[in-house]
């Protein structure tokens, strides 16, 4: 994000760099919070909205580049042709991923955290084990939630106490129109 304070950067580069810098912070929420489930409307429209906004960013850079209003940094001129090609191909994918993470998870999560109401839900859960170096190995998954990014971490001893079958559980949640945050899961002894 040095482009924001680098000498010689155009205002057009700063117009693009500022939102990208803000979005990069928004991608930290999905990396650290796995207890949020986006609402169906958000999930349905986040991909198409992210594609549309990515296309707008690319179009702006292309138009401003053609008009001479966007000038590459000195480091760009030192890169090999292969590195430039890879950068040009990967940049839209990275931008799309950042937009999707913000639209589908970060913004709805922050909205729900600030304005959501506390509630209790009854759901069917199942235990899950995965060997992971970056997250928890023992988890609870809500069977009605298809998001691969949602899971609720539990201890190994709690995992071992639960049966392998699906269970009904009481979820303590914070809900809004954009989704819900799971604060706690209390499994019942009833098997599903």
Q: HEC states along 64-111?
A: HHHCCCCCCCHHHHHCCHHHHHHHHHHHHHHHHHHHHHHHHHHHHHHH
Alpha helices (H) along 116-171: 156-161
Say yes or no: 85 and 127 in one domain: no
Domain final position from 79, 114, 149: 114
Is the per-residue pLDDT at 192 higher than 70? Answer: no
Tens of pLDDT, residues 56-96: 999 998 898 888 887 777 777 888 989 989 988 999 999 99
Say yes or no: 122 and 106 in one domain: no
**Orientation of helix 81-101 relative to helix 11-26, angle to 10°:** 60
Range(s) of the domain holding residue 157: 118-191
3-state secondary structure of 13: helix
Q: Tokens 């000195």 appear where? A: 74
Question: Is there a contact between 137 and 129 (Cβ–Cβ < 8 Å)?
Answer: yes
- Phi/psi region, residue 70 (left: phi>0; alpha: psi -120 to 50; beta: rest), is beta
Is the per-residue pLDDT at 8 higher than 70? Answer: no
Domain final position from 82, 114, 146: 114
Cα angle for residues 145, 146, 149 (degrees, 5° grid):
95
Please report, rounded to a whole number, the percentage of residues in the chain having pLDDT higher than 70.
93
Total number of domains constituting the chain: 2
Domain final position from 114, 132, 157: 114
Say yes or no: 95 and 49 in one domain: yes
pLDDT of residue 68: 83
Say yes or no: 30 and 103 in one domain: yes
């Amino acid at each position: 994000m040095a482009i924001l304070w680098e000498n010689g950067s155009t205002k057009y580069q700063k117009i693009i760099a500022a939102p990208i810098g803000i979005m990069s912070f928004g991608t930290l929420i999905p990396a650290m919070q796995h207890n949020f489930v986006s609402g169906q409307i958000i999930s349905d429209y986040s991909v198409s909205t992210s594609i549309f906004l990515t296309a707008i960013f690319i179009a702006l850079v292309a138009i401003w580049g053609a008009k001479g209003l966007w000038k590459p940094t000195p480091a760009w001129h030192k890169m090999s042709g292969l590195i430039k090609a890879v950068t040009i191909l990967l940049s839209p994918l990275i931008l799309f991923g950042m937009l999707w993470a913000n639209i589908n998870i970060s913004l709805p999560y922050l909205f729900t955290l600030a304005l959501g109401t506390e509630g209790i839900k009854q759901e069917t859960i199942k235990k899950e084990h995965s060997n992971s170096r970056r997250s928890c190995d023992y988890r609870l998954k809500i069977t009605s939630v298809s998001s691969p990014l949602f899971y609720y971490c539990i201890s190994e001893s709690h995992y071992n106490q639960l049966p392998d079958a699906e269970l009904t559980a009481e979820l303590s949640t914070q809900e809004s129109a954009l989704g819900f945050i799971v604060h706690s899961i209390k499994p019942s002894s009833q098997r599903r």
